Amino acid sequence: MIRRHVWSRWVRAGLCTAAVATTACPAVDDVTVDAGPDDDVDTDAGVEDLSRAADCPTSSPWVTDVSGRIVDEAGAGVADAFAQMCVRTNLGRLLCLRPTSSDADGAFVADIAANARCMERATMRVVKPQTDTATLYCAVPLTADVSTVVLPAPQVLVSTTPATTLPPEGDGLATQSVTFADGVVVDVAPAALPEGTWARLAARVLAVGDAPSCLRDDGPALQTLVAFSPELDIDGGGAAVRLPNRGALPAGTSVPVFALGSIDCRRADGSLVEEGHWEPLADGVVSADGASIDVVGVPCLTWLGVGQP
Amino acid sequence: MHAILPRALLATALFSSSCIVAPSDDTAADDTPTPDAEPACVYPTSTTLQGVGSVLAPIAWTSAVDNAGAFESLAMEDVYCRRGRFANIESVFFILVAEWCPNCPDYAAMVGQLTPDLEAENAMVVFVDLQTTNPPELPTTDSAQNYVSRYTANGWRVGEADGVVPGSIHDSPIWSAVPGCFVVRTRDMQVIANQEDTQFILPFLDIAKDLDADWSNPGPPAFVANCSEADEEAGEPNDTIPTATPLAAGATVEGGICTEAPDFFTIDLAGNWQIDLAFSSAEGDLDVYVMNEATGEPLVVGGEPVGSDGTTDTESFTHSGPATIVVLGFQGASTTYTLTLTDLGTPPAP
């Protein structure tokens, strides 16, 4: 279930006074619509007014900027990576902000566009283009009374390892088995992947304790995570994936497998795995030889998580 | 494959100070203006592209995909000067998308559906692909075509890498988030609407029909009923908490959001219960919440409202104890619904 958390939209729409007789609802005449950046500029002083807009309910976070640091697994700052935030506003719109690049120490500050400041939730996507690092998605911790958000933990870019067996693309239509280290195998037709990504396929298995903290803290209980690079949305019916059975579960055991939503991660029925959210796919099943947990219909390769049976 | 004009050559042609109608061979020979020569088409003086009131520069793309799927070039100067196929174009809707943007597909599909109606109003829709999945890399028009065509077959497409000046829109302050849209009135090439000025979806058709109205601060969309009062539930009027309709466990209510007002119901169960709401999200997306009667807003627990607000044809959630719930339409949505309350019983004492 994708929650939009957008109830305040009907307060904004002027329905509140018709609905309840309470001072919590603004009079219709008092309801205004944020007119965007131009309205927030104090032309006299030349300084932008960052204070909470009158039409942003106090229960909704009002965020003007988000800052943080992008690091590698050793904790060193990663320069020229990009932090890109998507915001679900209090009116239910999903707005994705212009990406911000990190400095030499990995630090970044993302200024929030005026029409996205009254938000219900936000997800930070961190990517270092053209590298073997896995794109990271983390929920941005929001509270109603903090407008300048400093991410409490660094955004860790995890490196991946190229496929150990990568068949030629051929005509692109035939399903091929791509093998990675640590027993990960992906069966997919090259044509189902974005052009130019086949030769760059890479993956890595991580124990939960080695994964970026936001992936551990904000999702389901996992026993193993697998990072892929580059992040891929798969056309058609998705991929069949074999994941290592690190928990030594008995053959035939059903195990929930989760996908971390990416840019356009859609299941075969068209439903969207929301960006940055862990959502269950079909259950995986431990193979007859006990070596792998097999799952089919994987709609995207960003991060996969093996849950608890 | 498409033919691409040499960038430098096209730039020279497109960024001339004016778009004077080409003279005939005779006039070219003796430089003597003929008495009936058409007046020169002089592109307006442009400003920084930053919002409503800006005047769009004569930007152009060496490669574009037109609304019939053919590759050619696209120059705003041709549009302003009403050349050839642009003779009747009165407005241009620039739809801003990026290939890393999760909500751009839905926005592109929505605008794509509207495009035939917009074109009937002499509007032109141009999908501008601002960035690839590896920001800030600029996409080619090939990439834009591949991306946008997944979601709509309508409208023009351009990639910012194929601009005569690459990144003309990408590098401007007109956008800070995607998906976005700005609308240019071709009479003076002035920006008359910008999606960034409102949290509501721009009223595209209304804008195309009235290019002289003030679209600088569009408000909520007008309510459009998809059902009639006869479709409303028997408990109407239940448009406020004080007039909420009692909801019996096991009963099924056939109702509708057919006016702007939401519907309120009271639940008088001491134990656990479940609400199921079924409707056609294609006709109108509905949501359901438990109300906090003290604040007049939905009850919030752990930072999340108690209720269900997905995007499918059903909403379902469980709660416990007496409560007032509200059924409402997303951004003024209207449709009929079936509402069911199930008594889940009292949980055993811990």
- Give A114's contacts (C-beta < 8 A, 6+ positions apart): A34, A36, A37, A39, A40, A53, B196
Does the residue B181 lie in any domain?
yes
> Tokens 């499918």 sit at which residue?
B312
The secondary structure of residue B33, as a DSSP letter, is: P
| Residue range of the domain that includes B119 | 7-209
Residues in chain A, how many? 309
Q: Tell me which of A120, A140, A159 is where a domain ends.
A: A159
Per-residue pLDDT at A285 exceeds 70: yes
**Which H or E run includes B10?**
helix B7-14
Helices (H), A13-83: 16-19
User: Quick one: A41 and A150 in the same domain?
Assistant: yes
Please tell me whether residues A90 and A135 are part of one structural domain: yes
Compute the distance between CA of residue B263 and CA of residue B256 in angstroms, rounded to an integer: 8
The two beta strands, A65-71 and A155-156, are parallel
- Which pLDDT score, from 0 to 100, does residue A4 have? 45
Q: How many domains does chain A have?
A: 2
Cβ–Cβ below 8 Å for A33 and B200: yes
How many structural domains comprise chain B? Answer: 2
Question: Same structural domain for residues B275 and B323?
Answer: yes
List the single residue in B99, B293, B304 with the smallest CB-CB distance to A5: B304
Asked whether A60 and A85 are in contact (CB, 8 A), the reply is: no
B189 and B237 inside one domain? no
Q: Which two three-digit tokens encode residue A68? A: 């943080």
Residue A70 has pLDDT above 90, yes or no: yes
Amino acid at B347: P
Q: Identify the CATH number of the domain in which residue A20 sits.
A: 2.60.40.1120
Residues A233, A254, single domain; the answer is yes
Q: Are residues B140 and B32 in the same domain?
A: yes
- Residue A272: list chain B partners with CB under 8 A: 102
User: DSSP code of B146?
Assistant: H
Which residues of chain A does B326 touch, with a Cβ-Cβ cutoff of 8 Å?
Answer: 19
Assess if residue B198 is contained within a domain: yes
What b/e string do you get for A29-67 counting C-beta neighbours within 10 Å, with b at 16 or more? eebebbbbbbebeeeeeeeeebebbebbbebbbbbbebe
Considering the domain architecture, whether residues A241 and A171 belong to the same structural domain is answered as yes
- A82-89 vs A100-101, strand pairing mode: antiparallel
- Residue A35: what pLDDT? 33
Same domain, yes or no, for A165 and A298? yes
Strand ranges of the sheet holding A300-307, from the earlier edge strand across to the other edge: A161-162, A202-207, A222-233, A300-307, A257-260, A278-280
Question: CA of B299 to nearest chain A CA: how many angstroms apart?
Answer: 10
State the CATH number of the domain containing residue B234.
2.60.120.380
Per-residue model confidence as pLDDT tens digits over A222-255: 999 999 999 988 988 899 999 999 999 999 999 9
The answer to whether residues A16 and A146 belong to one domain is: yes
pLDDT at A12 over 70: no
Same domain as A37, residue A145: yes
Question: Residue A92 pLDDT more than 80?
Answer: no
Contacts of B94 (CB under 8 A, 6+ apart): B126, B128, B169, B181, B182, B183, B184
| Mean of pLDDT over chain A | 84
State how far residue B250 is from chain A, nearest Cα, in angstroms: 24
Identify which of B196, B201, B260 has the shortest CB distance to residue A15: B260
Q: Of chain A residues 104-143, which have a CB less than 8 A from chain B?
A: 113-116, 118, 125, 127, 129-130
B204 shares a domain with B238: no
Residue B45 within a domain: yes
**Are B297 and A6 a contacting pair at CB < 8 A?**
no
* Domain C-terminal end among A141, A159, A177: A159
pLDDT in tens, chain B (350 residues): 333 333 333 333 333 333 443 333 343 444 454 555 667 899 999 999 999 999 999 999 999 999 888 989 999 999 999 999 999 999 999 999 999 998 898 899 999 999 999 999 999 999 999 999 888 889 999 999 999 998 999 999 999 999 999 999 999 999 999 999 999 999 999 999 999 888 788 999 999 999 999 999 887 777 888 899 888 888 788 999 999 999 999 989 999 999 988 999 999 999 999 999 999 877 888 989 999 888 888 887 766 678 888 767 889 999 999 999 999 988 778 999 999 999 998 765 65
Chain-chain contact of B287 with A7 (C-beta, under 8 angstroms): yes
Nearest by CB to residue A18, choosing from B199, B261, B289, is B261
> Measured between CA atoms, how close is A224 to chain B, in angstroms?
26
The answer to whether the Cβ–Cβ distance between B103 and A96 falls below 8 Å is yes
pLDDT tens string A145-199: 889 999 999 999 999 999 999 999 988 999 999 999 999 999 999 999 988 899 9
Range of the domain at A231: 161-307
Q: Which two tokens stand for residue A40?
A: 């927030």
Determine the 3-state secondary structure of B329 from DSSP: strand
B177 in reach of chain A (CB within 8 A)? yes
Query: In this predicted structure, what is the pLDDT of residue B317?
Result: 92
Q: Examine the domain organization and report whether A151 and A27 are in the same domain.
A: yes
- Are residues A88 and A181 both part of a single domain? no
Same domain, B85 and B117: yes
Asked if residues A293 and A284 have their Cβ atoms less than 8 Å apart, the reply is yes
Helices (H) and strands (E) in chain B, counts: 6, 20
Report CB contact under 8 Å: A35, B104: no
pLDDT confidence of residue B36: 59
Closest-CA residue to A178 (of A230, A240, A253, A227): A240
The minimum CA-CA distance between B304 and chain A, rounded to whole Å, is: 7
Given a contact cutoff of 8 angstroms between Cβ atoms, the answer to whether A14 and B220 are in contact is: yes
User: Tokens representing A234?
Assistant: 């798969």
Is the same domain home to B70 and B157?
yes
Asked if residue B49 and residue B102 are part of one domain, the reply reads yes
Instruction: Compute φ and ψ for B184, nearest 5 degrees.
Output: -110, 130
Residues B34 and B64 in one domain: yes
In this structure, are B246 and B282 located in the same domain?
yes
Whether residue B31 is found in the same domain as residue B132 = yes
Alpha helices in A13-61 (DSSP H): 16-19
pLDDT computed for residue B88 by the predictor: 97
- The answer to whether residue A53 scores a pLDDT higher than 60 is yes
Q: Does A7 touch chain B (CB under 8 A)?
A: yes
Same-domain pairing of A230 and A194: yes
The answer to whether the CB of B197 falls within 8 A of the CB of A114 is no
Type of residue at B268: D
Based on the fold, state whether residues B266 and B193 are members of the same structural domain.
no
> Considering the domain boundaries, does residue B292 fall inside one?
yes
Q: Are residues B203 and B325 in the same domain?
A: no
Same domain? A151 vs A211? no
Confidence grade of residue A11 (pLDDT, cut at 50, 70, 90): very low
Question: What residues 237-296 of chain B have any CB closer than 8 A to a CB of chain A?
Answer: 239-242, 260-262, 264, 287, 289, 291, 293-296
- The residue with tokens 């890393």 is B100
pLDDT of residue B348: 58
- Sheet (strand A292-298) strand order: A176-179, A185-188, A239-244, A292-298, A284-286, A254-255
